[in-house]
Amino acid sequence: MKFSRSAVALATLSLAGLAQQAFAIQVVGENLEVYGTLYPELNSTTYSGTSPAGTPLSSMTKGLVAPGTVSVATGAIGKDQTNWSQSYIGFKGSKTYGDVKIGYDFQGVITPNKTLDSSIATGGQQSLFGDMRDAFVSVGHTSIGTFQFGQMDTIYKEYGDRVRMLGVSSSNFTSTSGVLSGVGWKGATGAGTTSFNTRIGSQVRWESPVYSNFNVGLSVRKDPNRTATQDTSLSAAALRWTDGTFYASVQQEAHNNYHSFSGTGLTALASSSIYNLGTANSKDTGQRVSFGYSKGALSLGADFASLKYTEEASAAGKFSAYKTNTYQFSGDYAVNAAWNLAANFANGAAGSCEVLGGGACSTVGQGGTLLSLGAKYNFDKNIGIFAMYALNKSNGSATFASSAIGGNTTNLGLGLLLKF
């Protein structure tokens, strides 16, 4: 393939931030396009509001921290930083052969902080790109649908949370995913993720063609290191409908042997803990319904989820199940061509838990909320300046966005959004 000199020059100027217009750049037609979303921001974070020492913890968290030793509030603690969140540059392309379309998409996350923090003198490596975001190839057919192979969002994540605050909420402090798709307790050492906001590699994802405004999707991720007794795998399925204005979908995702509560390290049971042995099988499931509305200047979204974490208890009195319900509402309103206003709110309930044998299991103090507000001034549809505020509140024995149990986290951000 030959690269046009003008196309390469335009791509170089765009990556350097010098191009006058922002759009996906076709370097070699549809075979290679360069695109990206950059949203660096000045971020000020304050931690406060931890519970006083001696506050009783629920037996749900027994073993995570010693009962009654909640962090003592010693005044607000804060930090200031430049945060690039999930800013990325992507390279994609496709080629069509009749009814078949072959494609690829690779996105490198921009991490200037790592570049500045590394030191060649101390053996550090300097690199502009950090982790890969999406990295997959695809094969599609007009009648069968599209298969994708590699790293990408699961179909559960892809089909929910339709209104992303100001286009910069991905991995940002305004993202509702921590509350909507996760929990406020932390698992034992070696525990896997509790989140259902999942981007994962070694995945096969399929999406059907659209029929009468409906289509379905599936995600499967097998464990390449599975054994006869342990198989860490993921599966997800979703159905959605949209007429371009209204949107509705249902999704389910299952995590097998993620060991999100007891972890994998425990080899002997302790009477003071409700943890299970590390060999205990587990299964976590997330079920969600999502709604959206988008017309003219107004976009609205809502999600309602039920999350359940289960383990095969090793003995009486050991953890068997935890279940909680979560929800979030979000909205974006274009006041005029120059200004957008946005807000979201997410809530995670305390939930309920079970131990083998029907013993007492309390979740008092679990759960939390997130409230975010934001505004963006648009120079054009691809370049703007944004300001955001968020308050993440954790109940007395929970942890959301802060290492302090029962702590609150306040964030302020001022940033620049560039799309091309």
User: Within a 10 A sphere around the Cβ of 127, how many other Cβ atoms?
Assistant: 12
Distance in angstroms (rounded) separating the CA atoms of residues 60 and 273: 10
What confidence tens digit (pLDDT) does each residue in 306-319 have?
Answer: 999 999 999 999 99
Tokens 């209104």, located at residue:
163
Q: Is the dihedral of CA 107, 157, 394, 232 positive or negative?
A: negative
Domain boundaries, the chain: 1-31, 32-419
Residue 388 token pair:
């955001």
* pLDDT tens-place string over residues 99-154: 999 999 999 998 775 544 444 444 444 455 567 899 999 999 999 999 999 999 99
Q: Is 180 helix (H, G, I), strand (E, B) or coil?
A: helix
Domain 32-419: what homologous superfamily?
Porin (2.40.160.10)
- Quote the CA–CA distance of 145 and 130 in Å, as a whole number: 32
Q: 3-class DSSP state for residue 52?
A: coil
**Residue of 57, 17, 30, 334 lying closest to 185 (CA atoms):** 57
Which of 232, 252, 225 lies closest to 192, judged by CA? 232
The reported pLDDT for the residue numbered 62 is 62
Is 0.75 topped by the overall pTM? yes
Query: By the 8 A CB rule, do 285 and 253 touch?
Result: yes
| Residue 178 near residue 400 (C-beta atoms within 8 A) | yes
Question: What percent of the chain is modeled with pLDDT above 90?
Answer: 67
DSSP per-residue letters across 232-274: -EEEEEEEEEE-SSEEEEEEEEEEES--TTT-S---S--TT--
d(CA 153, CA 136): 11
Q: Pick out the chain residues at pLDDT < 70.
A: 1-23, 50-59, 61-77, 113-130
pLDDT tens-place string over residues 221-272: 999 888 877 889 999 999 999 999 999 999 999 999 999 999 998 889 888 7
